[in-house]
Structure 1
Amino acid sequence: MRLIPIECVKKDTVLGKTIYDSEGRILLKKGVKLTQLLIQKIKELNILSIYIIDEYSDYEIEDIIKPELRQKAVKILKETFNDIQRVSSFHNFEKCSLINYSKHELKYFENISNISEELLDNILSNKNLLISLVDIKNMDNYTYQHSVNVAVLSLVLGISLKLPKRKLVQLCSGALLHDIGKTFIDKDILLKPSKLNLEEFNIIKTHPEKGYNFLKNSYDINTNSKLIILQHHERVDGFGYPYGLNGNKINYMAKIVSIADVYDALTSDRPYKRAMCPSDALEYIMSNSGTFFDYEMAKVFTRVIIPFPSGTIVCLSNGDVGIVEETFPNYPLRPQVKILKSDNEQIIGSSVNLLNELSLVISGIQYEA
């Protein structure tokens, strides 16, 4: 199974991962053979990349959480955010907070806490804590799918950093709600299909404070979770927002979510930009460690992400094309590659271990061999 842009999908290709609609209902099950009509329907859903199974990648990449749990989390977040918008429509946006909520409406935040524990338990039950799957996002559900993915990435990093279970649940709840302030931002700005201008970006930058102010008086939501919402766009060099905090002045868990948030955003398709491949996103995280991101956390993060899952077709720096056969712990950018194409016909079919061939690097991902 490998991820390819929808425009590269050919007729009769086998779908590798189930596609859901914006309500979490199954649209196309994995294993279906794609006709030209189905490919067009996928494009119309604003799904820009899909997983396929072909002769180069005939096995499945396992998601670190169960697909049904992922959809359940997306549904809970969608209901929560939509309800906030509904209540806010009856109150001044700036003054709206949980004090405007009835006990019935507060159930949504109880659900967030419950789903956080479910996500954590599901990940802890998985012996493999490496992430090799990029989640496919429907543009209509981007905010909710992004928040769930940030929570999953944050949990894996938090577990690797040996956080206790109590704090991992707080981390997950904060990650799920990190963009809650965007419910108070004009949808025309949030859903703008092109790059934001400076004025629009400054409005977007108010979402951490808006989200924090909405929840700050709630005794049901932990302080760490609230600080994640407020500080997930702060940078360790002090040039983030909203307050320009630096170093240890930034909440520890907020620094975890900051890395997960940026990585998932970079590897996600958006209407105005295509996703960055996972290896380039990892390079971005590593090159900005110590400035944007906590250096030690970024170093650990690069060990839990597999940017080139088995079955990925890659181009090597010498011009050869190969398929990834195996990825090694702690060395995500230097897998073992089987050569598919080369000017030297004698090495076609042989394997190259990039841990040993230090003069070679992967220069990019290809979608056809």
Structure 2
Amino acid sequence: MRLVPIECIKEGAFLGKTIYDNDGRILLRQGVILNNNYIDRIRQLGIFSLYINDEYSSAEIEDIIKPELRQKSIKTLKNYFSHIQNYHKKNEEYFSSIFDIANSIIDELAGRNDLMVNLVDIKSMDNYTYQHSVNVAILSLIIGIQLQLNKDELYKLCTGALLHDIGKVFIPKEIIQKKEKLLPEEYDLIKEHTTKGYNYLKNNIDISPVSRIIILQHHEKVNGTGYPDGKKGNDINKLARIVAIADVYDALTSDRPYRRAMSPNEAIEYILGSGQTYFDFEMVKVFSECIVPYPVGTLVRLSNNDVAVVEKIFPHFALRPIVKVIKSDNVSTIGKVINMMSELDLVIKETEYAMN
């Protein structure tokens, strides 16, 4: 199974991962043979990348949480945010459902032995905010678990991460969903979502003050160039520093109206390069060890220009997998299995999507 931009998908490929419509109903099930009608329908939903199985890649990759829990979480957030948009008032029933979701995600992740992130979540444009919020919560918890946070801290972290973008409810929808580059004054409006979200929940005693601080500070940067208050280093709440990393990684690996998604390896390189300037460097190191930049099934171009498929990943050495060559100018090399842990003269140059 590999992630491919929709324009690179050919008829006859098998859908590798079930996709859902904007109401959480199954649109196309895993295993469906894709044709141009299906591909066009998916594109109309604002989905621009898909997991496929084809002659090059058919390995199954398990999501880090169950699909049912992911869809339930997205639907819960969507209902909560919609309630705020429509009624502009708090509802204890919705708060309770958010807390239930937080506990369910924590329990599921805490029960796993392997917390490596192999999949990028496929998002539609209309549901982006809710899907993104769930992903940020999952990624934040993975960092938190690796940092050995206690259950109470994980709960506050997850709640704050799920609600980190709640302030966007109070920003005009046409700005949130604008396809063109934002004007400076529009970007200034977007930046208000941190304080608007914090102020909305400020007087709610059911939500921990720490979770509210996450909402306020998740765009602060350790060098003081973030917003809303330009805080630096340890003046930024520890849990907010975690969410800042998860937020940017998930945003970079998501298709947006104004740009296409980065691959996981490109996004993690950006995060690593921004350690000690934008992000807490120790947290970045922990996070980078949990991301698989080239999951099993990915097609990669090697530094000798051969194309290979990733067959096995080594924990903590994800840039040095075992690969199998499927295309080469040297015909005798095709089919060769290479352990990049021992073949140190070879490196992965880039992800390959279309095979000619």
Match of 1:55 in 2: 55
Q: Determine the C-alpha separation between the residues in 2 that align with 1:343 and 1:187.
A: 51
Count of aligned pairs: 355
Q: Determine the C-alpha separation between the residues in 1 that align with 2:15 and 2:49.
A: 11
The residue type paired with residue 309 of structure 2 is: I
Match of 1:252 in 2: 238
Matches for 1:10-21 after TM superposition, within 5 Å: 10-21=10-21
| 2:332 corresponds to 1:360 | no
| 2:234 corresponds to 1:267 | no
Shift of 1:54: 1.3
Q: Determine the C-alpha separation between the residues in 2 that align with 1:252 and 1:122.
A: 23
Shift of 1:324: 0.7
Greater mean alpha carbon deviation, residues 341-350 or residues 286-295 = 341-350
| Partner of residue 326 from structure 2, selected from 309, 334, 340 | 340
Match of 1:113 in 2: 99
Shift of 1:271: 1.7
Matches for 1:171-320 after TM superposition, within 5 Å: 171-320=157-306
Q: Determine the C-alpha separation between the residues in 1 that align with 2:264 and 2:313.
A: 14
Match of 1:66 in 2: 66
Greater mean alpha carbon deviation, residues 319-328 or residues 174-183 = 319-328
SS in 1 for 2:226: coil
SS in 2 for 1:315: strand
The normalised TM-score by structure 2 is 0.97
Match of 1:84 in 2: 84
Q: Determine the C-alpha separation between the residues in 2 that align with 1:334 and 1:246.
A: 35
SS in 1 for 2:131: helix
Match of 2:132 in 1: 146
| 2:312 corresponds to 1:326 | yes
Q: Determine the C-alpha separation between the residues in 1 that align with 2:293 and 2:182.
A: 29
Q: Determine the C-alpha separation between the residues in 2 that align with 1:34 and 1:247.
A: 49
| Partner of residue 113 from structure 2, selected from 121, 124, 127 | 127
Q: Percent identity?
A: 57
Shift of 1:346: 2.9
Q: Determine the C-alpha separation between the residues in 2 that align with 1:358 and 1:14.
A: 34
Q: Is the 8 A contact 1:324 1:335 kept in 2?
A: yes
SS in 2 for 1:279: helix
SS in 2 for 1:50: strand
Q: Is the 8 A contact 1:313 1:368 kept in 2?
A: no
The residue type paired with residue 18 of structure 2 is: T
Residue segments in structure 2 that go unaligned for 5+ positions in a row = none
Q: Is the 8 A contact 1:175 1:257 kept in 2?
A: yes
SS in 2 for 1:173: helix
Shift of 1:53: 0.9
Q: Determine the C-alpha separation between the residues in 2 that align with 1:295 and 1:355.
A: 26
SS in 1 for 2:309: strand
Q: Deviations over 1:308-345 (max 9, x none)?
A: 11110001122111111111111222212211222333
Shift of 1:124: 1.6
The residue type paired with residue 293 of structure 2 is: P
Q: Determine the C-alpha separation between the residues in 1 that align with 2:228 and 2:318.
A: 33
Shift of 1:85: 1.0
The residue type paired with residue 87 of structure 2 is: V
Q: Determine the C-alpha separation between the residues in 1 that align with 2:234 and 2:94.
A: 32
Q: Is the 8 A contact 1:23 1:75 kept in 2?
A: yes
Q: Determine the C-alpha separation between the residues in 2 that align with 1:14 and 1:148.
A: 27
The residue type paired with residue 180 of structure 2 is: S
Q: Deviations over 1:84-128 (max 9, x none)?
A: 11123xxxxxxxxxxx53xxx221111111100001111122221
Q: Determine the C-alpha separation between the residues in 2 that align with 1:359 and 1:58.
A: 28
Q: Deviations over 1:26-45 (max 9, x none)?
A: 11111111122111111111
Greater mean alpha carbon deviation, residues 275-284 or residues 125-134 = 125-134
Q: Please identify runs of 4+ aligned residues in structure 1 that moved more than 6 A.
A: none
Match of 1:31 in 2: 31
Q: Determine the C-alpha separation between the residues in 2 that align with 1:273 and 1:334.
A: 29
The normalised TM-score by structure 1 is 0.94
Shift of 1:187: 0.5
The residue type paired with residue 179 of structure 1 is: D
Q: Determine the C-alpha separation between the residues in 2 that align with 1:339 and 1:53.
A: 18
The residue type paired with residue 125 of structure 2 is: M
Q: Is the 8 A contact 1:302 1:332 kept in 2?
A: no
Q: Determine the C-alpha separation between the residues in 1 that align with 2:304 and 2:210.
A: 48
The residue type paired with residue 75 of structure 2 is: K
Q: Determine the C-alpha separation between the residues in 2 that align with 1:55 and 1:126.
A: 31
Match of 1:91 in 2: none
Calculate the aligned-residue CA RMSD, in Å: 1.1
Q: Is the 8 A contact 1:259 1:298 kept in 2?
A: yes
Q: Determine the C-alpha separation between the residues in 1 that align with 2:201 and 2:346.
A: 51
| 2:147 corresponds to 1:161 | yes
Q: Determine the C-alpha separation between the residues in 1 that align with 2:185 and 2:342.
A: 50
Q: Determine the C-alpha separation between the residues in 1 that align with 2:285 and 2:341.
A: 18
The residue type paired with residue 63 of structure 1 is: D
Q: Deviations over 1:120-154 (max 9, x none)?
A: 11112222111100000011100000000000111
